[in-house]
Chains A and B, each alone.
Chain A
Amino acid sequence: MERPLTRNIKPNADPLWLTEYEKAGGYESVRKALRTMAPPDIQKLVTDSTLRGRGGAGFPTGKKWSFVPMGPDAPRPKYLVVNADEMEPGTFKDRLLLEGDPHQMIESMIVSAYAIQADVGYIFLRMEYGIAAARLRKAIGEARAKGYLGRNLLGSDFSFDIYLHTSAGRYICGEETALLNALEGKRAIPRAKPPFPQVVGLWGKPTIVQNVETLCNVPHIITHGVEWYRHLSRGKDGGTKIYGVSGNVKRPGAWELPMGTSIREILEEHADGMRDGFAFRGLLPGGASTAMLVEEHLDLPMDFESIPQGGSRMGTGTMILLDDQTCPVGFTQNLEHFFAQESCGWCTPCWEGLSWTERILQSLEDGQGRMEDIDVLAMHTKLLGPGRTFCALAPGAMDPLQSLLKYCRADFERHIHERRCPWGNGRDGADGARIWPVSSSMIVPTR
């Protein structure tokens, strides 16, 4: 089984630095692209490869690139931004790639930038990924020294440089348009689309934002070709995918597997099944913002096409398990707490609806719930759907809520009837409101 993305990554070892990386075939794709391919050729290759975004939405990457204005009249500079903000709970795949093989990230950016003729690249990295930051910095330095970055790469007339931007928290920064505002040093509020960033992006210029994992596929597609790439997969979408499992399983972790590997296989063969004493109740297939799947869905292949058959999305492909020892209401409260805290505060349904949802769930956990509460929760799952809020954060928050209400409704009602959390391990609300020492002395919000 081929593992192109993680082939250089060994657990608990330093990544390959430049010489070794080159020895292992690194930067081949850059040579090939700059010397033998025109930008449209690469764009076509990526389109034909059926590569889809690994950041959650699964948008076809080649198609996204096709919106970038090309040719001599195109606005300059153009930007390529790597979304390395990985903050969706349960998601830990980009960290692996960034820490494990920083040069692969840089190589991916160079060839992708060449394909869209970008002039500058930014890696938007979440602050907590300190090791990744240090390794990326070192790798960028090495690459620059070797002429892979800077003016006239490898003597071609293509110039490109990369800067690392480290952020300071807030999940919303991962939303691609909020990310642009964050990069511009503004409050990270999402932008309305259209216009799309491909046309009006960073500082008003054409910009492509792409997930770490997505981009890491590109060099391999260039080096090995479309046929090879598509055959890596077991399903319709090409390539491999880094799947992850967390929760009370025996061997939580992340593995690069053929796209379309079934949930059951990932769960049982790679994560070794449930931890002793824990039984399976459900799972969120791709991060906190995906709807829960249950037993009956376990044989679905994990890919963009199949997971929706179970009423969910593949999302980031990193699963979160719900077991029988965990209170499903507490589980939901934890998720909604996250989303409510991370709302940017721009659109009403999100900033107020999520907070209300969270507080109702907390009150259920506290034994204060009422039957009407379930209606209010259900109402929110409808009212915070796609298109009703400004960006996808709130709809993402409603997917798990809606599915847990569906699959675990009896548990919700038990909380109300018994006036307590039957698990007793529900959230105790001690950190119900996240306390940040962030306000300046003048602005003291209290609750």
Chain B
Amino acid sequence: MAGIIVDDRPYQVDERENLLQACLSLGFNLPYFCWHPALGSVGACRQCAVKQFRDERDREGRLVMACMTSAADGTRISIEDPEAKTFRASVIEWMMANHPHDCPVCDEGGECHLQDMTVMTGHTYRRYRFTKRTFRNQNLGPFITHEMNRCIQCYRCVRLYRNYAGGRDFDAFGSRNHVYFGRHEDGTLENEFSGNLIEVCPTGVFDDKTLMPHYTRKWDLQTAPSVCAHCSLGCNTIAGERYGTLRRILNRYHSEVNGYFLCDRGRFGYGFVNNERRIRRPIFRSNRHDQTIPMDKDMILRELGSLLADKPSRIIGIGSPRASLESNFALRELVGPERFSLGLSARDAGLNSLILDILRRGPASSASIHDVEQADAVLVLGEDPVNTAPRLALAVRQSVRQQPMQLVDKLDIPRWHDAAVREATHAQPGPLFIAAPHSSWFADIATETYHGAPDDLAALGFAVAHELDHASPTATPSPTIRSLAERIAAALRQAARPVILSGTACKSEAVIQSAANVAWALCKIGTPAKLCYCLPESNSLGLAILGGKNLEDAFSVVKNGAADTVLILENDLYRRADTLSVDTFLKTASKVIILDHLEHDTTAKADVLLPAGTFAESDGTLVNSEGRAQRFYQVFPVEGDIQESWRWIRDLAVASEHPGQSNMAAWNRLDDVVAALANAIPAFQRLAEVAPPETFRIVGQKVPRQTHRFTGRTAMHAPLIMHEPKPVEDADSPLAFSMEGYLGQPPSPLITHYWSPRWNSVQALNKFQSDVGGPLRHEMPGVRLIESSDKRTVTYFSEAPQLFQIRDDGWLILPWYQIFGSEELSARASVMAERIPEPALMLHPEDAATLRFKADEQAEFMLDNKSHRVPVKLNAAVPRGTAALTIVSGFTDAVLPTWSPLIRVPEP
């Protein structure tokens, strides 16, 4: 800590920070633009000027940029100094000289940092009387708008896009007061994190294009804290609604998880909630395909109630890794643990529970995204994070800056001094080894990249572990793998905080095990390595903890007649198993009841469809890949029959007079389910600590979902009903569907929007952190359900696989996941259509040459007992003897990897 003096009063601050960060942390309203807690300082905008004095006798002082000055012990500054204030007001005056007067029609209006800073510095009167510069805007693709005239040249966008996210198709052009931020020519921004431009740009240059067709001001959105549903990382989001449609997703800061940034899948994938193929009413099909009869809720419950009451033991439940813990548990309670299936194939369930087992066993603990960012060496083993857990890839990109920081420290360059840090560490990224079937994202920063088939990757992992600790078993690796393993081991040995990143993308137990061996070997030699596994879905790990049968078991139970009624929870079984098995299963079962939000291949075969709430229409808990349980909250009340899956299941229990073990009839709110779950399964004991209970009040009040400036409350329903309806009660959470309630800062899981007096933009977040850039005030970061038992003993996995053998009768077809298109829900956001690639099969160019394939020719191959045709693309990142199939447009990973011959289809 350092003692500094601000306007003659002493304060204690962190001496590693710059003065701007320190002053903001102390609560001063010091304006700024170019600085960003995650991007550091560059001193471009000159907005944060303060007066610095040498000592108490110095009355003159000199202006310094707070963001470019260390908060060293004994620093004396004045924020209120008239000269400093004048200067800051002038900076705004300059920026406004060319800034259009379009606040009323600007999409950023009301949440604009430039507006806030203008008011804050007191610039009101316009003296500049000349014409303004104008620019042409570009079409940057489906996600982001571009309105360059609003630019104030703070350079945040290029720094985020290029330096932080590694994007290379966006830059600054021109010079002086004609700097243009955009692309070399119109076109979709390629980078997977482009959406963060929206929040990082302090004005309305970049805004959310998906918001535009249903544009709503920030203060008119009803917003709730949520957790992203589109991968296993559990990034925190704020979801906003008006008039019953979900309108946008913003980042919700979490110091351990997503920090300031989201990926584009998470930000723009929300459209599935508004999809026209939503199931909005219960549907009953008399004869499966023939006749569809919409029914009202009571009728269908009566119908199903008697059905279920008849034969409780002939029902099986099929859960889902994309449904909340509460809904899965409710189903498990309804049908009984014996008849509860995870809804996953034995292979997939096995991979998830293997990971769970590894994380529980220890000694390596699971890494948060923040841990990955801080890692000083990363080994990616058999995973493709940018496509399977995108936000993690962004963290990996930051990790390579950690090791070079030693040089930065030695040169006495403060770490916040972004430009200097980058110059000093010029092109010397820290250790990052990528061993994956195919991933090009880190090509520019990886120390080494190795593309191999899953077995070879596992062999590499085993070999690395063996290098580190000879007690760890290894098969005989090839010379290439061995020498690579030596280099990787040497780098990992040097590291203080290494992370081994792996996951289920290879669908290989051996890969997952080999990653564990590496981390464990490091732990054994005294390096506190962490493990970071990516799982397929938002609640994969939660479901693994809950436990249940495999899908194959469910299939055989129905096949051998032990059950005939199937209740499927938010799950498209065709994504889980081969078509024939699912077809047979659904055909054999006499009643198929499905709870889901969208129609899909499985719902097409259901007898009964019940409309389940999406994440935006329900509350619930998800366990992310790190093992952290986090709560998401309903954003808006739903018209009609849509309700949370757990409520449907409770209603079924009540209707069938089959209340289950934990008296489901008494489940009136989410907390009841949580309590029952915590009670029933020891691993979930601390589930109630994830977020404040429904009964939580602050000075007797709930936390409003609507802002205190919410407009049209009395008018928005006027066309339907003349009087203002009473706000819907929220029985499940301390949040209210109302603008009334507690206006201050709630505990972190309940933050519905960032706002603070004079801070209307997302930058108001500063006011929610006691140390800007650090944890939130009143932070409840969720509960990590898995902590490795800190045993010193290490029991290695011993079965190193045989090396991959190329076959001459076929090709190993591996899944190649896509950030846009592979994940089930986001793929159904209409805006994604433009970003989802056409299906393709990637081949190594030499393999293609052997087969006489040319790029874009059609290849025929066998998958899931059917033959398919897709165009071939050549890609040197694909291991020889394998082919990579993009998991988009109907292709799933259910039966991948698989062997198949490839046949060239001649041009017609």
Binding site for B on A (CB under 8 A): 170, 187, 191-192, 194-195, 199-200, 203-204, 340-349, 351-356, 359, 363, 372, 376, 379, 383, 387-390, 438-447
Cβ–Cβ contact A344 & B94, under 8 A: no
Partner of A372, one of B43, B94, B127, B426: B127
Specify which chain B residues have a CB less than 8 angstroms from the CB of A348 in the assembled complex: 44-47, 91, 94-95, 152-153
Cβ–Cβ contact B420 & A192, under 8 A: yes
Specify which chain A residues have a CB less than 8 angstroms from the CB of B68 in the assembled complex: 192
Cβ–Cβ contact B46 & A349, under 8 A: yes
Specify which chain A residues have a CB less than 8 angstroms from the CB of B97 in the assembled complex: 352, 355-356
Cβ–Cβ contact A390 & B43, under 8 A: yes
Binding site for A on B (CB under 8 A): 42-47, 49, 62-64, 68, 86-87, 90-91, 94-95, 97-98, 127-128, 130-131, 133-136, 138, 152-153, 155, 172-180, 182-186, 411-413, 417, 419-420, 423-428
Question: Known contacts A200-B413, A200-B420; is A442 also within 8 Å of B177 by CB?
Answer: no
Question: Known contacts A204-B425, A443-B174; is A346 also within 8 Å of B155 by CB?
Answer: yes
**Closest Cβ of chain B: how far from A350's Cβ, in Å?**
8
Task: Give the docked Cα–Cα distance between A192 and B70 (Å).
Answer: 14
Specify which chain A residues have a CB less than 8 angstroms from the CB of B94 in the assembled complex: 348-349, 352-353, 356
Cβ–Cβ contact B419 & A390, under 8 A: no
Cβ–Cβ contact A445 & B174, under 8 A: yes
Task: Give the docked Cα–Cα distance between A370 and B44 (Å).
Answer: 31
A376 nearest in chain B by CB position: B127
Specify which chain A residues have a CB less than 8 angstroms from the CB of B91 in the assembled complex: 348-349
Cβ–Cβ contact A388 & B63, under 8 A: yes
A195-B413, A348-B44, A439-B180 known, 12 other contacts, Cβ within 8 Å: A170-B175, A194-B413, A195-B423, A344-B175, A349-B90, A353-B90, A376-B127, A383-B86, A387-B62, A388-B49, A388-B87, A446-B135
Cβ–Cβ contact A359 & B130, under 8 A: yes
Specify which chain B residues have a CB less than 8 angstroms from the CB of A446 in the assembled complex: 133-135
Task: Give the docked Cα–Cα distance between A170 and B64 (Å).
Answer: 27
Task: Give the docked Cα–Cα distance between A387 and B46 (Å).
Answer: 10
Cβ–Cβ contact A442 & B184, under 8 A: yes
**Closest Cβ of chain A: how far from B43's Cβ, in Å?**
5
Specify which chain B residues have a CB less than 8 angstroms from the CB of A389 in the assembled complex: 46
Cβ–Cβ contact B176 & A345, under 8 A: yes
**Closest Cβ of chain B: how far from A189's Cβ, in Å?**
9
Specify which chain A residues have a CB less than 8 angstroms from the CB of B87 in the assembled complex: 383, 388
25 A-B contact pairs sorted by A residue (CB < 8 Å): A192-B42, A192-B43, A204-B427, A340-B176, A343-B175, A343-B176, A345-B177, A345-B178, A346-B44, A349-B91, A352-B98, A353-B90, A356-B97, A388-B63, A390-B44, A438-B174, A439-B173, A441-B185, A442-B184, A442-B186, A443-B136, A445-B174, A445-B178, A445-B180, A447-B133
Specify which chain A residues have a CB less than 8 angstroms from the CB of B95 in the assembled complex: 348, 352
Specify which chain B residues have a CB less than 8 angstroms from the CB of A447 in the assembled complex: 131, 133-134
A442 nearest in chain B by CB position: B185
Cβ–Cβ contact B43 & A347, under 8 A: yes
A187 nearest in chain B by CB position: B172
Cβ–Cβ contact A445 & B423, under 8 A: no
Specify which chain B residues have a CB less than 8 angstroms from the CB of A383 in the assembled complex: 86-87, 90
**Closest Cβ of chain A: how far from B425's Cβ, in Å?**
7
Partner of A342, one of B64, B90, B176, B426: B176
Cβ–Cβ contact B173 & A440, under 8 A: yes
Question: Known contacts A353-B94, A442-B185, A443-B136; is A347 also within 8 Å of B44 by CB?
Answer: yes
Q: Across chains A and B, which 9 residue pairs bring their CB atoms closest together, nearest first? A: A204-B426, A352-B94, A345-B179, A343-B176, A345-B175, A351-B177, A445-B178, A443-B180, A200-B424
B185 nearest in chain A by CB position: A442
**Closest Cβ of chain A: how far from B72's Cβ, in Å?**
13
Question: Known contacts A195-B420, A204-B423, A388-B63; is A343 also within 8 Å of B177 by CB?
Answer: yes
B418 nearest in chain A by CB position: A192
Task: Give the docked Cα–Cα distance between A152 and B97 (Å).
Answer: 58
Cβ–Cβ contact B45 & A347, under 8 A: yes
Task: Give the docked Cα–Cα distance between A253 and B297 (Å).
Answer: 97
A440 nearest in chain B by CB position: B184
Task: Give the docked Cα–Cα distance between A199 and B412 (Å).
Answer: 11
**Closest Cβ of chain B: how far from A256's Cβ, in Å?**
35
Cβ–Cβ contact A388 & B46, under 8 A: yes
Task: Give the docked Cα–Cα distance between A188 and B636 (Å).
Answer: 51
Specify which chain A residues have a CB less than 8 angstroms from the CB of B185 in the assembled complex: 440-442
Specify which chain A residues have a CB less than 8 angstroms from the CB of B134 in the assembled complex: 445-447
Task: Give the docked Cα–Cα distance between A191 and B42 (Å).
Answer: 9
Cβ–Cβ contact B411 & A345, under 8 A: no
**Closest Cβ of chain A: how far from B412's Cβ, in Å?**
8
B158 nearest in chain A by CB position: A187
Cβ–Cβ contact A345 & B42, under 8 A: no
Specify which chain B residues have a CB less than 8 angstroms from the CB of A199 in the assembled complex: 411
**Closest Cβ of chain B: how far from A426's Cβ, in Å?**
18
Specify which chain A residues have a CB less than 8 angstroms from the CB of B174 in the assembled complex: 345, 438-439, 443, 445
Specify which chain B residues have a CB less than 8 angstroms from the CB of A191 in the assembled complex: 419-420, 423
Specify which chain B residues have a CB less than 8 angstroms from the CB of A341 in the assembled complex: 176
Task: Give the docked Cα–Cα distance between A135 and B135 (Å).
Answer: 43
Cβ–Cβ contact A442 & B138, under 8 A: yes
Partner of A200, one of B90, B153, B178, B411: B411
Task: Give the docked Cα–Cα distance between A195 and B68 (Å).
Answer: 12
A359 nearest in chain B by CB position: B130
Task: Give the docked Cα–Cα distance between A343 and B97 (Å).
Answer: 16
Specify which chain A residues have a CB less than 8 angstroms from the CB of B186 in the assembled complex: 442
**Closest Cβ of chain A: how far from B103's Cβ, in Å?**
19
**Closest Cβ of chain B: how far from A415's Cβ, in Å?**
16
Specify which chain B residues have a CB less than 8 angstroms from the CB of A376 in the assembled complex: 127
A349 nearest in chain B by CB position: B46
Question: Known contacts A347-B46, A348-B45, A348-B91; is A204 also within 8 Å of B176 by CB?
Answer: no
Task: Give the docked Cα–Cα distance between A342 and B98 (Å).
Answer: 18
**Closest Cβ of chain B: how far from A317's Cβ, in Å?**
28
Most buried by A among B128, B178, B412: B178
Task: Give the docked Cα–Cα distance between A389 and B65 (Å).
Answer: 9
Cβ–Cβ contact B153 & A356, under 8 A: no
Cβ–Cβ contact B63 & A387, under 8 A: yes
B41 nearest in chain A by CB position: A192
**Closest Cβ of chain A: how far from B359's Cβ, in Å?**
40
Cβ–Cβ contact B44 & A445, under 8 A: no
Cβ–Cβ contact A443 & B46, under 8 A: no
**Closest Cβ of chain B: how far from A120's Cβ, in Å?**
15
Partner of A195, one of B90, B155, B184, B411: B411
**Closest Cβ of chain B: how far from A379's Cβ, in Å?**
7
Cβ–Cβ contact B133 & A445, under 8 A: yes
Partner of B64, one of A351, A387, A442: A387
Cβ–Cβ contact A351 & B153, under 8 A: yes
A388 nearest in chain B by CB position: B63
Specify which chain A residues have a CB less than 8 angstroms from the CB of B176 in the assembled complex: 340-345, 351, 354-355
